[in-house]
Structure 1
Amino acid sequence: MYTTVRHYQDEASDVVEQIRVHADRLRGLMSGIDGFVAYYLVDTGGGSLVTVSVFADRAGAEESTRAAAKLIGELGMADALPHPPTIMQGEVAVQA
C-alpha cells in the first residue's frame, strides 16, 4: 500500500466546513480512483488540516493528489486554500 499525506496550513478558518459541503463529491472522487483503500480529512484546528489517502499503489496515490488539486479549483476554493499543501508520500512500512 501507498499513502499520501497533505498538510494544509494557515487556511481560511472555515475551510473544513466549506469542504464538508462537498463531502459526497470528494468521497466519490477519491473512491473512484483505481486502488482506493481509504481517505481521511482531519481538522487539526486553527485553519490547518491534514488529508490522508491510502491506495494499493503509488499511481493511485499520485492520482489522488492531482484529483484533489483539480477539485479545489472546480469548487472555487482557491481563496479558502491559498497555500499549496506540504505533501508527503511513501510505501506503508507497518500496518495494524
Structure 2
Amino acid sequence: MQTVIRTYSGKGAKELFDVLEKRASDVEEMLRSIKGLVSYTLARSGDGGFSVTVCEDKAGVEESVQKAKEWIAKNAGNTGAGAPQISAGSVLVHVK
C-alpha cells in the first residue's frame, strides 16, 4: 500500500477547509471513484488542515493527488489557498 499526506497552510487554507467541510459529500464521492482507494481522512488543523489518503498502489495515490488538485481548482479556487506540501511513501502499518 501507498499513502500521501497533503498539508495546506497559510493564506486561504482555513477558507479552503471551510469549503471542503461544506462540500464533504462531493469530496467523498470524488474520492470513491479512485481505483484502489483504501482509506481517506480529512482533518482541520490550526491554520488549515491536511488529508491522508491510502491506496493499494502508487497509481491510486497519484490519481488522488491529481483529482484533489482538479477539484480544488474547480470548487475552491477562489479561496486563494496555495499548493499543498505533499509527503508520500509506502505504508508500513495500517490499522483499521
TM-score (norm 2): 0.88
The aligned counterpart of 1:36 is 37
Cα distance per residue 1:21-54 (max 9 Å; x no partner): 21111101111110011111110122x2111011
Partner SS, residue 79 of structure 1: helix
Runs of 4+ in 1 over 2 A off after TM superposition: 11-15
| 1:89 matches 2:74 | no
CA contact (8 A) 1:6 1:85 kept: yes
* Sequence identity (%): 28
Looking at structure 1, the residues matched to 42 and 8 of structure 2 have their Cα atoms a distance apart, in angstroms, of: 11
Partner SS, residue 21 of structure 2: helix
Looking at structure 1, the residues matched to 58 and 17 of structure 2 have their Cα atoms a distance apart, in angstroms, of: 27
Unmatched segments (≥5 aa) in structure 2? none
Looking at structure 1, the residues matched to 91 and 79 of structure 2 have their Cα atoms a distance apart, in angstroms, of: 31
Count the aligned residue pairs: 94
Looking at structure 2, the residues matched to 2 and 17 of structure 1 have their Cα atoms a distance apart, in angstroms, of: 28
Structure with the higher fraction of residues in helix conformation = 2
Looking at structure 1, the residues matched to 92 and 51 of structure 2 have their Cα atoms a distance apart, in angstroms, of: 19
CA contact (8 A) 1:8 1:81 kept: no
Partner SS, residue 78 of structure 2: coil
Cα distance per residue 1:37-88 (max 9 Å; x no partner): 1111110122x2111011011100110000000001111x123243110101
Judging changes above 3 Å, is the alpha-carbon distance between structure 1 residues 83 and 14 closer, same or farther for their aligned structure 2 residues? closer
The aligned counterpart of 1:78 is 77
Query: What do you get for the CA RMSD once the two structures are aligned?
Result: 1.4
Looking at structure 1, the residues matched to 82 and 46 of structure 2 have their Cα atoms a distance apart, in angstroms, of: 16
